[in-house]
Amino acid sequence: MSTLTEKAYRDLLDNTLARIDRAFDDADPDVAESNLSQGALTVVFGGKHRLIVSPQPSPRQLWLAFRDRAWHFDWNADTQQWLDDRGEGVEALALIRKLTREATGIDVAL
């Protein structure tokens, strides 16, 4: 479990979700459209595939789901990044960029 305080976790989470949401502001909504609602962010690619980024308060993690896969991320204070909890070196924002590029062909600046 993370050593983040609840407030620190919420602040990081709010900033991360807002950053991801803003990255899709200029995207054609027929290609990629983001929606931040009730604390979770959903990006719909091409009107059909959903990328879901959601908070998990108990373990103080950020979860990401796309198609048939899910990832769990812990905040790493040393690198200032959300890193996968399996120790595979997957960083949340880099993964979102990769999945977006694969699904739509567009690059988002995160």
pLDDT tens track, the chain, 110 positions: 457 899 999 999 999 999 999 999 999 999 999 999 999 999 999 999 999 999 999 999 999 999 999 999 999 999 999 999 999 999 999 999 999 999 999 999 99
Please give the class, per CATH, of domain 6-104.
alpha beta
Residue with tokens 């407030």: 7
DSSP assignment, residue 105?
Answer: S
Threshold 0.85, pTM exceeds: yes
Domain ranges of the chain: 6-104
Residue 7: Cβ-neighbour burial (10 angstroms; 0-12, 13-18, 19+): exposed
pLDDT at 1: 47
In one letter, which amino acid is 10? R
